[in-house]
């Protein structure tokens, strides 16, 4: 890592996009900031392996402190700045940090209010306003088995657990991701320009950061989600990491804008979309080629340029399944979407679409180099390789449950095709077991309903030990629209997978309400508990009817 930064020298490697301007640092300047942070940490006389909580929004200073903690032989514990202070304090108490580094004084104050006895704490500005001090001595070299970071899992089914990742895990993963990006960029044509908006405290986002630093890429950081669209266009990236929710929003925004624009562009766009769908289904009509050709000349290039810029080679998508419809939509525009699958426990990645291979919509690509995947009981995906974590922090029993006979049990249901491309069906813990004994993965059905229900934010299926499925629907949407969506989806499903009742909640589930994890996944158990009376009411009403 540091050798790569030395080699990059005066090349700009990081840019913060703030208030319409870019604040840049070269590799040499970043190394200077890392040395300043290392000197600050060295004066605190911490012991090798001590935990250091790093709590803040993405910034150049965050990156410098992260690298400094690692270089000093300490263990960085990155935390999500948007989480409730109580949840953050619970995780910090679990890992017993020797110090807490916060992005700003507001975060410091929030932690101290919740945890008056907190260990030494400070804002990053205090570190970097100090003058650089010489390091008294070199830190010991990092060994492969040394724990570099503890990243807390989402905690969809309970208390978050600290995933320990060692130097060997990270070295292997950065090598794999860099190799895939070489394929995408057709190295050595030019340096990559990468746009980034996902918090660095998430494993996949952090691996992207490290990969960019090793590659000498220019990583452009969005610091205001309200300016995400304009920053994205201004960055004109070669690629960037995404979650499905953003790609869905971008697709819907294009549809709405063209609908409002009307006229000839909307007609061509609508005709081309219909032609594209028919082509995927093998039902092309005589004039479909004409409309697609016209759209490729007059409409699609404008959409690509306004949406993302003209240089984009691909979108990379992970963290949750991306709908086939959305992946095909971007393919229609000429934008490949490369999917990635993995968990924090697998150093973020197990599979990755091959830019030179056949990308199969709805699948997440083949296993990456050095990683072996297999199917276990209930079609559970099992993984082993140098990317598998050594265990959970201070939880040997939890570790033993998932690391058995050399395999990591992911908890995800999957399937694999003859070409080795994997598909993720859903979480085993999310399975709904009806009173009839049928096991149902809710995620695919929820996605289908959402695709047919504009205005809805979330659909959550329930029905454990019940006679049929029901759904909680969030968002400002009328009951008639929900029923219309069910009337479209239900006939395509076997009887036991059909949704027979629903309840509209209104306000979407959020991180702040405690019903979503830090990276936006549903906390199904808590949702079921909080809406128990509404769920019971759905089943009583159906019986009465």
Q: What is the pLDDT of residues 226-279, one digit of tens each?
A: 899 889 988 999 999 998 888 988 888 888 888 888 889 899 999 999 999 899
d(CA 78, CA 201): 5
Report the candidate in 476, 102, 33 with the shortest Cα–Cα distance to residue 110. Answer: 102
**Environment class of 77 (CB within 10 Å of its CB; exposed 0-12, middle 13-18, buried 19+):** buried
The 3 state secondary structure assigned to 148-182 is EEEEECCCCCCCCCEEEEEHHHHHHHHHHHHHHHH
Contact 518, 80 (CB under 8 A): yes
Rounded percentage of the chain residues whose pLDDT exceeds 70: 95
* Secondary element (H or E) of residue 345: none
pLDDT of residue 542: 56
**Environment class of 477 (CB within 10 Å of its CB; exposed 0-12, middle 13-18, buried 19+):** middle
Contact 170, 347 (CB under 8 A): yes
Return the ∠ at Cα 37 (arms to 36 and 40), rounded to 5°: 90
Look at residue 189 and tell me whether its pLDDT is greater than 70: no
Contact 309, 347 (CB under 8 A): no
Q: Considering only 200-214, 380-394, 434-448, which range has the smallest mean pLDDT?
A: 434-448
- Identify the bridge partners of residue 415 per DSSP, sorted by sequence position: 423
d(CA 507, CA 381): 34
Q: State the pLDDT confidence band at 353, using cuts at 50, 70 and 90.
A: very high
Q: Cα 145 to chain center, whole Å?
A: 26
d(CA 388, CA 344): 9
Q: Considering only 11-20, 59-68, 303-312, 527-536, which range has the smallest mean pLDDT?
A: 303-312
pLDDT in tens, 201-236: 999 999 999 999 999 999 999 999 889 988 998 899
d(CA 88, CA 94): 10
d(CA 1, CA 98): 25
Look at residue 473 and tell me whether its pLDDT is greater than 90: yes
Report the candidate in 251, 333, 326 with the shortest Cα–Cα distance to residue 292. Answer: 333
Q: Considering only 126-140, 303-317, 528-542, which range has the smallest mean pLDDT?
A: 126-140
Provide the strand spans (E) within 390-468.
391-392, 403-404, 407-416, 422-427, 432-433, 439-440, 456-462
Structure tokens given for 74? 């300490």
**Residue predicted with more confidence, 320 or 63:** 63
Domains in the chain: ranges and CATH:
2-238 (3.40.50.12780), 242-310+313-428 (3.40.50.12780), 431-544 (3.30.300.30)
Those residues with Cβ within 8 angstroms of residue 241's Cβ, 6 or more apart along the chain or in another chain: 196, 198, 204, 205, 208, 316, 317, 318
Please report the DSSP string for 260-325 in residue order. Answer: HH-HHHHHHHHHHHHHHHHHHTT---TTHHHHHHHHHHHTHHHHHHHHT-S---EEEE-SSPPPHH
- Please, what is the average pLDDT of the chain? 90
Contact 70, 147 (CB under 8 A): no
pLDDT in tens, 14-36: 999 988 789 999 999 999 999 99
SS3 209: helix
Rounded to a whole number, what is the distance in angstroms from the first to the last CA of the chain?
65
Beta strands 351-352; 337-341: pairing state = antiparallel
Report the candidate in 372, 35, 71, 369 with the shortest Cα–Cα distance to residue 210. Answer: 71
Angstrom CA distances, 361 to 61, 303, 327, 332, 372, stand at 38, 21, 6, 12, 22
In degrees and rounded to multiples of 5, residue 403 shows phi and psi of -105, 100
Structure tokens given for 25? 């640092």
pLDDT of residue 345: 96
Look at residue 543 and tell me whether its pLDDT is greater than 60: no
Look at residue 497 and tell me whether its pLDDT is greater than 70: yes
Q: How many CA atoms lie within 13 A of 534 on its CB side?
A: 18
Q: State the pLDDT confidence band at 421, using cuts at 50, 70 and 90.
A: very high
Look at residue 495 and tell me whether its pLDDT is greater than 50: yes
Contact 194, 239 (CB under 8 A): yes
Q: State the pLDDT confidence band at 545, using cuts at 50, 70 and 90.
A: very low
In degrees and rounded to multiples of 5, residue 191 shows phi and psi of -70, 150
**Environment class of 37 (CB within 10 Å of its CB; exposed 0-12, middle 13-18, buried 19+):** buried
Instruction: Please give the radius of gyration of the chain, using alpha carbons only, rounded to the nearest integer.
Output: 24
Report the candidate in 215, 237, 479 with the shortest Cα–Cα distance to residue 335. Answer: 237
Return the ∠ at Cα 540 (arms to 535 and 542), rounded to 5°: 100
Return the ∠ at Cα 474 (arms to 469 and 475), rounded to 5°: 145
Return the ∠ at Cα 372 (arms to 371 and 377), rounded to 5°: 140
Contact 166, 146 (CB under 8 A): yes
pLDDT of residue 135: 66
Residues in the chain: 545
Pick the most confident of 309-318, 442-451, 482-491: 482-491
Neighbours of 266 (CB within 10 A): 16
**Environment class of 413 (CB within 10 Å of its CB; exposed 0-12, middle 13-18, buried 19+):** buried
């Amino acid at each position: 890592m540091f050798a790569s930064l030395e080699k990059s020298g005066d090349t700009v490697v990081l840019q913060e996009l703030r208030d319409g301007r870019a604040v840049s640092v070269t590799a040499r300047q970043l190394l200077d900031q890392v040395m300043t942070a290392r000197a600050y940490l060295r004066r605190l006389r911490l012991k090798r392996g001590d935990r250091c909580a790093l709590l803040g929004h993405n910034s150049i200073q965050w990156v410098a402190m992260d690298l400094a903690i690692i270089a000093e032989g300490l263990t960085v514990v990155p935390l999500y700045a948007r989480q409730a202070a109580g949840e953050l304090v619970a995780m910090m108490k679990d890992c017993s940090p020797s110090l807490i580094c916060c992005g700003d004084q507001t975060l410091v104050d929030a932690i101290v209010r919740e945890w008056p006895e907190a260990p030494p704490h400070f804002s990053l500005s205090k570190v970097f306003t100090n003058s650089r001090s010489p390091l008294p001595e070199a830190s010991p070299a990092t060994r492969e088995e040394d724990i570099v970071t503890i990243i807390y899992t989402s905690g969809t089914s309970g208390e978050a657990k600290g995933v320990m990742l060692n130097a060997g895990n990270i070295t292997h993963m950065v090598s794999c991701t860099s190799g895939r990006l070489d394929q995408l960029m057709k190295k050595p044509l030019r340096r990559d320009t990468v746009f980034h908006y996902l918090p660095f405290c998430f494993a996949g986002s952090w691996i992207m950061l490290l990969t960019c630093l090793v590659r000498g890429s220019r990583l452009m950081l969005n610091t205001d989600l309200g300016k995400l669209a304009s920053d994205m266009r201004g960055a004109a990236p070669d690629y960037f990491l995404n979650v499905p929710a953003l790609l869905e929003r971008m697709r819907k925004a294009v549809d709405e804008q063209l609908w409002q624009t009307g006229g000839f562009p909307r007609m061509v766009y609508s005709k081309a979309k219909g032609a594209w769908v028919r082509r995927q289904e093998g039902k092309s009509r005589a004039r479909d080629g004409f409309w697609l050709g016209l759209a490729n000349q007059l409409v699609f290039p404008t959409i690509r340029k306004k949406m993302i810029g003209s240089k984009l080679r691909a979108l990379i998508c992970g963290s949750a399944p991306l709908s086939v419809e959305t992946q095909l939509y971007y393919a229609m525009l000429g934008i490949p979407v490369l999917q990635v699958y993995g968990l924090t426990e697998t150093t973020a990645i197990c599979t990755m679409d091959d830019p030179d291979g056949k990308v199969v919509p709805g699948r997440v690509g083949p296993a990456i180099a050095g990683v072996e995947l297999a199917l276990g009981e209930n079609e559970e995906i099992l993984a082993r390789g140098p990317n598998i974590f050594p265990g959970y922090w201070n939880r040997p029993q939890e570790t033993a449950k998932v690391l058995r006979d050399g395999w990591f049990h992911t908890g995800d249901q999957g399937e694999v095709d003859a070409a080795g491309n994997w598909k993720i069906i859903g979480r085993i813990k999310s399975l709904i077991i009806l009173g009839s004994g049928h096991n149902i993965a809710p995620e695919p059905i929820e996605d289908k309903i959402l695709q047919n229900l504009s205005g809805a934010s979330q659909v959550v299926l329930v029905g454990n030990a019940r006679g049929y499925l029901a759904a909680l629907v969030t968002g400002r949407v009328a009951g008639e629209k929900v029923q219309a969506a069910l009337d479209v989806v239900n006939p395509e499903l076997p009887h036991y997978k059909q949704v027979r009742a629903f309840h509209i909640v209104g306000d979407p589930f959020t991180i702040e309400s405690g019903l979503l994890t830090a990276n936006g996944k549903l906390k199904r158990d808590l949702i079921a508990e909080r809406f128990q009376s509404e769920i019971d009411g759905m089943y009583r009403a159906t019986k009465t009817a």
